[in-house]
């Protein structure tokens, strides 16, 4: 077990790659009462076309199968896993995204029992056609909830614009039609391809002894047999040169119109973990400089009543894709997006785009990072997300990497992104209004 000391922030991380390929990261915190664990597979909604284990031909699986599989792993022959965690006085949950599926627990006691239960239920599948039929109705209700959520429809609408012929534009939960095609055999095929330990990471943070917890993990994994396969195959193809839909709108039962502007990144991102983290920082700092709460652009929009407190922005970088999004409510959404486009196009001429603002925002970002070390969930989530991109062990060096990020390098990253990006807008209007 490798011990990594981060003396500048007083943190220690333990890392080990087990013989079966599982990557384990432990972040012990003696002064905390809670322990939080995240068991993640590098498999999400976009991974729906691959060659199943033991076969030779590529198979296309129904949209939403990764999310469906996540639901079914909680249901075993001897009962519901949620209830088992509740009996231990613990909280458990799971989440499926575009590229990852995570299972978690949070507890203040019986850490070892919780950890063994987490590993066992995730690694021991039990799928039957009867249980699948039941789950299809449950997930159909979840779909309707998402369809009625304007903010989710807004984001999904942007993805449909930026990636119109791509699985990325499909809803993570799938459609009623797609999930009706899911069978137990399909779930097993997806499980054995992507839930292999070599495609997974286990991160535990909180109050525990690292040696003891690593012993529990090793003994648990040593008892299990896994097929001899290489790292799970990723077949998601990201074609940056495909045409996008530049503008589109829909109507929903909402009070105020909504807008979202997106920039699809088409540049080559860094491969090195530390540099990739600096690339993330740079694009986030860029958005703060242009549209943060103290920026002249935001103040101009806000004082004129063009936007309200719903205004927000984000930079997303995941396996195979990265993008900027800016969204909010507005009486005249097209006027707002016209303003945003003009500022983005001429970003180098903006008053806030300067080295002084850059250094100020860097210091604020460093301060937030230091504060985040008091949140077990935040750190464990970041370590887990970074474990598939090489950013996990450098995450606790965030403050050092930010201090090392020069204004010149920041400008290079921003220009690299902006020179290659393509832009799209999506709007949602109230049903009773005209566009």
Q: Could you list the active site residues? A: 70
Both tokens of residue 339?
Answer: 């303003």
Assign 204 to helix, strand or coil.
strand
- Report the alpha-carbon distance of residue 179 to residue 176 in Å, rounded: 6
Who's near 325: CB < 8 A, 6+ residues apart?
155, 158, 260, 261, 262, 263, 313, 314, 316
What phi, psi does 88 have (nearest 5°)? -90, 0
Q: How far is CA 298 from the centre of its chain?
A: 27
Instruction: Produce one character per residue of 109-128: b if its CB has 16 or more CB atoms within 10 Å, e if not.
Output: eebeebbebbbebbbebebe
> Would strands 91-96 and 258-264 be described as parallel, antiparallel, or unpaired?
unpaired
Cα-Cα-Cα-Cα torsion 366, 370, 375, 380, nearest 10 degrees, comes to 70
- Report the alpha-carbon distance of residue 22 to residue 213 in Å, rounded: 15
Residue 186: enclosing H or E segment and its boundaries?
helix 184-194
Instruction: Produce one character per residue of 47-80: b if its CB has 16 or more CB atoms within 10 Å, e if not.
Output: bbebebbeeeeeeebbbbbbbbbbbbbbbbeeee
423 and 257 Cβ atoms separated by less than 8 Å: no
CA-based angle 314:316:320, to the nearest 5?
Answer: 160
**Sole residue written with tokens 């990636």:** 163
Who's near 36: CB < 8 A, 6+ residues apart?
104, 105, 106, 204, 205, 206, 376, 377, 380
Residue 211: enclosing H or E segment and its boundaries?
helix 210-222
**Sole residue written with tokens 């973990």:** 273
Both tokens of residue 321?
Answer: 């894709």
């Amino acid at each position: 077990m490798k011990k990594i000391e981060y003396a500048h922030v007083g943190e220690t991380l333990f890392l080990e790659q087990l013989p079966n390929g599982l990557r384990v990261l432990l972040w012990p915190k003696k002064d905390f009462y809670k322990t939080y664990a995240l068991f993640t597979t590098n498999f999400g909604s976009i991974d729906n076309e691959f060659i199943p284990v033991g076969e030779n031909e590529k198979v296309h699986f129904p949209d939403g199968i990764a999310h469906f599989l996540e639901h079914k792993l909680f249901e075993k022959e001897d009962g519901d896993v949620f209830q088992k965690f509740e009996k231990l006085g613990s909280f458990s949950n799971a989440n499926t995204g575009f590229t990852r599926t995570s299972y978690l627990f949070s507890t203040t006691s019986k850490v070892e029992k919780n950890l063994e239960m987490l590993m066992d239920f995730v690694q021991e599948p039990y799928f039957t056609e009867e249980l699948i039929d039941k789950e299809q109705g449950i997930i159909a209700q979840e779909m309707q909830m998402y369809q009625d959520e304007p903010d989710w429809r807004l984001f999904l609408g942007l993805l449909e614009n930026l990636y119109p012929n791509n699985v990325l534009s499909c809803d993570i939960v799938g459609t009623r039609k797609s999930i009706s095609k899911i069978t137990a055999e399909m779930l097993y095929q997806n499980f054995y391809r992507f839930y292999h330990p070599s495609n997974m990471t286990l991160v535990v943070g909180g109050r525990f002894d690292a040696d003891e917890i690593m012993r529990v993990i090793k003994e648990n994994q040593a008892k299990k047999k896994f097929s001899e396969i290489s790292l799970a195959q990723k077949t998601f193809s990201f074609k940056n040169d495909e045409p996008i839909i530049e503008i589109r709108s829909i109507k929903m039962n909402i009070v105020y119109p909504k807008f979202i502007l997106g920039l699809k990144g088409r540049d080559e991102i860094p491969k090195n973990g530390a540099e990739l983290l600096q690339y993330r920082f740079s694009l986030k700092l860029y958005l703060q400089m242009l549209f943060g709460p103290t920026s002249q652009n935001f103040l101009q929009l806000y004082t004129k009543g063009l936007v309200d407190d719903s205004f927000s922005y984000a930079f997303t970088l995941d396996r195979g894709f990265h993008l900027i999004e800016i969204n909010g409510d507005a009486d005249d959404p097209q006027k707002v997006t016209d303003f945003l486009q003009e500022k983005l196009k001429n970003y180098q001429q903006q008053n806030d785009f300067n080295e002084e603002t850059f250094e100020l925002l860097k210091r604020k970002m460093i301060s937030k990072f230091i504060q985040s070390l008091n949140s077990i969930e935040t750190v464990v989530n970041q370590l887990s997300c970074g474990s598939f991109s090489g950013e996990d062990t450098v995450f606790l060096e965030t403050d050092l990497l930010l201090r090392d990020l020069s204004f010149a390098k920041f400008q290079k990253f921003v220009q690299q992104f902006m020179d290659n990006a393509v832009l799209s807008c999506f709007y949602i209007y109230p049903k009773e209004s005209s566009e």
